[in-house]
């Protein structure tokens, strides 16, 4: 049965129903977190605390009204002095208990840090299980994220460190993981305790193709190649799960590049000597036997690049891969579909941020359409108005077609945190009135010149419009401010999905035309000599895979969480990419 299309307006009944639910959620968050160290100590809550002196906290309406009128936008500068208590050694229970939410957190999670700055780290508490749609603890110690069948689970499960929280006598009260959000949340979903990791290394989680040890290979190429090795010997694969769709494409392209090695490894039952696998080899080798018949089948099928639909021939039961495909990741979707063939779909993964869970796919086959969470409170800041709390609107007040920046208040902290994501409202779920939205762009992230600017979405749309008929299909790209010669202009670093297109010499002009369509001020600037046609630098095949590996080596947050931003500002990253250019137009 197909899903109903989102409605363009809310009935009075659904609007009131949604309002009552979210007001109740907000009231519950306030009551739970009002006595935390953060709320009692941060200056942003001075007016809030004063307004509640002598008030009846059981009065739901008063709590909600006071929150909305007195709490300003909060940012990481407000949060970080409190979080720093987790960095103290020893980390005392009295210092960190009830810090942002009641009790002690389950884990500490870091942002992906695409800007090159230090990642932001957040404390996530036990109720985060519900935020990701996972049942309460109980039953099996290990749960698989796919209900049935065999899955290729492309998630890194390593972490930076363990934090021991001690009582005053030095006894360890709780040990928590500090690591990337993707790794920590997957571990939480599966209830994987760090003390059990060693015992699980040579075992398989239910339904997974690779032994547990593969999830701890910390080199990008090695991680994906070893996963491919174990996945390919399983003809029963039905799904693949990962954070971002480019992870799947990278894996298949590594298979293509090292096809002969892969076939020989399967034939002989050999684990290749790859970087990052030395400490794990014994667990991998114990689970990998010679399979000459499968090797012969692969030789008959050929390399992934030989013809489209390679995955369907290797895994005839494969029905879906699940990954984030919105924003900049949309550029990898055509290549993913080419590898998959007609019988497997791409399903959208939920919309999440380091700060919390935002939404679930409304229709999994629509890769950029999400239904807002009802477990936490998300407010909407109209991007066309001043950035003040008076211009916030609630979920039942949003207007279809308008764009808003998301502002989060979660059970993990009583704050009004601007996460910087701009979404466009598509409609409302006709069943319960919940807003349905699509990701548009990052707020304030784009290319800005003296007379005009271009947003992430405009830059993405422009290159996807201009490229196919000129330089060819784009696999991945990023944009910089190109100031190598005056005047400054847009500088596109582009990796192609295949061969160079039919008219590359026209690409720069066509790209400029597309940008002018979005912003006519660019034409005036070019005529006046303040700007010029964009530069397009083609980088070699596999460059952005290498870039992710390089970022990992430089201390990026985690394997599997390294993103290539639409707009790149980090000078070291720009210099690195500049050395990979093979052609310029």
- Backbone dihedral angles phi then psi of residue 251, each to the nearest 5 degrees: -60, -45
pLDDT the model gives residue 477: 96
Indicate the DSSP class of residue 293: H
Cα distance between residue 313 and residue 319, in whole Å? 12
Burial of 312: CB neighbours in 10 Å, binned 0-12, 13-18, 19+:
middle
Q: Report pLDDT for 140.
A: 32
Alpha carbons 507 and 496: distance in angstroms, whole number:
13
Give DSSP secondary structure letters for 44-111.
Answer: GGHHHHHHTTT--TT-HHHHHHHHHHH---B-HHHHHHHHGGGGSSSEEHHHHTTSSSSS--SEEEE-
Task: Give residue 463's pLDDT.
Answer: 95
E strand or H helix at 490: strand 489-496
State both tokens at 20: 């009552």
Report helix, strand or coil for 523: helix
Q: How high is the pLDDT of residue 220?
A: 86
pLDDT at residue 453, rounded to an integer: 83
- Angle (nearest 5°) at CA 170 between 166 and 176: 25
Rounded CA-CA distance 151/193 in Å is 21
Could you tell me which of 471, 549, 477 has the C-alpha nearest to residue 508? 471
* pLDDT at res. 465: 94
Short-list 575, 534, 566, CA closest to 446: 566
- pLDDT given for residue 127 in this prediction: 75
Which among 285, 274, 315, 356 is positioned nearest to 100, based on CA atoms? 356
User: Token match 């942003």: residue?
Assistant: 44
Whole-model pTM: value is 0.82
> How far from chain centre, in Å, is Cα 471?
28
**DSSP single-letter state for residue 135:** P
* Tens-level pLDDT at each residue, the chain (585 residues): 578 899 999 999 999 999 999 999 999 999 999 999 999 999 999 999 999 988 877 788 899 999 999 999 999 999 999 999 999 999 999 999 999 999 999 999 987 655 446 778 899 998 743 434 333 333 233 334 444 589 999 999 999 899 999 999 999 999 999 988 888 889 988 999 999 999 999 999 999 999 999 999 988 889 999 999 999 999 999 999 999 998 999 899 999 999 999 999 999 999 999 999 999 999 999 999 999 999 999 999 999 999 899 999 999 999 999 999 988 788 889 899 999 999 999 999 999 888 889 999 999 999 999 999 999 999 999 999 999 999 999 999 999 999 999 999 999 999 999 998 999 999 999 999 999 999 988 887 788 886 788 988 899 999 999 999 999 999 999 999 998 888 889 999 999 999 999 999 999 999 999 999 999 989 988 987 888 999 999 999 999 999 988 888 776 556 666 778 899 988 899 999 999 999 999
Domain 446-584 has CATH 3.30.300: yes
Q: HSE-up of 320 (CA within 13 Å, CB side)?
A: 14
Q: What letter does residue 533 receive in the DSSP assignment?
A: P
Indicate the domain borders of the chain.
Answer: 208-348, 446-584
Range list of H helices, 451-570: 456-466, 507-518, 521-527, 543-553
């Amino acid at each position: 049965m197909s899903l109903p299309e989102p409605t363009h307006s809310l009935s009075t009944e659904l609007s009131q129903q949604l309002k009552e639910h979210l007001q109740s959620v907000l009231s519950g968050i306030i009551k739970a977190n009002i006595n935390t160290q953060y709320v009692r100590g941060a200056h942003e809550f001075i007016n809030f605390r004063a307004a509640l002196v002598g008030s009846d906290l059981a009065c739901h309406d008063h709590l909600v009204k006071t929150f909305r009128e007195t709490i300003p936008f909060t940012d990481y500068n407000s949060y970080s002095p409190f979080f720093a208590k987790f960095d103290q050694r020893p980390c005392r229970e009295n210092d960190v208990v009830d810090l942002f939410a009641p009790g002690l957190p389950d884990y500490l999670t870091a942002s992906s840090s695409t800007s090159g700055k230090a990642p932001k780290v957040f404390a996530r508490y036990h109720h985060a299980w519900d935020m990701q749609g996972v049942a309460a603890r109980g039953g099996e110690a290990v749960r698989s994220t796919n209900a049935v069948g065999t899955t290729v689970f492309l998630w890194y499960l390593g972490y930076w460190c363990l934090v021991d929280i001690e009582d005053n006598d030095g006894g360890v009260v709780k040990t928590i993981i500090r690591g990337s959000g993707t790794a920590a949340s997957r571990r939480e979903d599966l209830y994987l305790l760090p003390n059990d990791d060693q015992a699980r290394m040579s075992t398989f989680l239910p339904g997974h193709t690779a032994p547990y040890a593969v999830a701890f290979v910390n080199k990008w190429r090695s991680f994906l190649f070893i996963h491919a090795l174990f996945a390919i010997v399983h003809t029963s694969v039905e799904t693949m799960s990962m954070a971002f769709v480019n992870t799947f494409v990278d894996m298949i392209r590594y298979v293509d590049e090292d096809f002969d090695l892969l076939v020989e490894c399967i034939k002989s039952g050999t684990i290749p000597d790859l970087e990052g696998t030395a400490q794990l080899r014994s667990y991998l080798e114990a689970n990998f036997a010679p399979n000459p018949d499968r090797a012969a089948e692969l030789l008959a099928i050929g390399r992934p690049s030989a013809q489209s639909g390679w995955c369907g021939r290797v895994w005839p039961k494969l029905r879906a891969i699940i990954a984030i495909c919105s924003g900049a990741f949309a550029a990898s979707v055509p290549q993913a579909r080419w590898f998959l063939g007609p019988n497997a779909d791409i399903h959208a993964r939920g919309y999440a941020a380091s700060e919390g869970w935002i939404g679930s796919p409304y229709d999994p086959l629509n890769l950029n359409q999400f239904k807002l969470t009802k477990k936490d409170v998300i407010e909407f800041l109209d991007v066309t108005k001043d950035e003040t709390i008076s211009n916030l609107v609630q979920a039942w007040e949003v207007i279809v077609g308008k764009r808003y920046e998301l502002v989060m208040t979660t059970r993990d902290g009583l704050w009004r945190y601007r996460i910087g994501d701009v979404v466009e409202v598509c409609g409302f779920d006709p069943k319960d009135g919940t807003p349905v939205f699509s990701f548009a762009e990052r707020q304030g992230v784009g290319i800005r010149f003296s007379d005009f600017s271009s947003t992430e979405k405009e830059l993405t749309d422009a290159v996807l419009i201009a490229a196919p008929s000129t330089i060819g299909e784009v696999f991945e790209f990023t944009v910089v401010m190109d100031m190598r010669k005056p005047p400054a202009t847009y500088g596109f670093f582009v990796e192609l999905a295949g061969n160079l297109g039919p008219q590359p010499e026209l690409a720069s002009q066509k790209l400029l035309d597309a940008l002018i369509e979005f912003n006519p001020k660019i034409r005036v600037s070019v005529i006046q000599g303040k700007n010029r046609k964009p530069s397009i630098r083609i980088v070699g095949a596999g460059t952005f895979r290498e870039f992710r590996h390089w970022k990992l080596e430089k201390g990026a947050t985690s394997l599997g969480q390294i993103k290539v931003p639409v707009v790149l500002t980090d000078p070291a990253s720009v210099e690195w990419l500049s050395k990979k250019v093979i052609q310029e137009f």
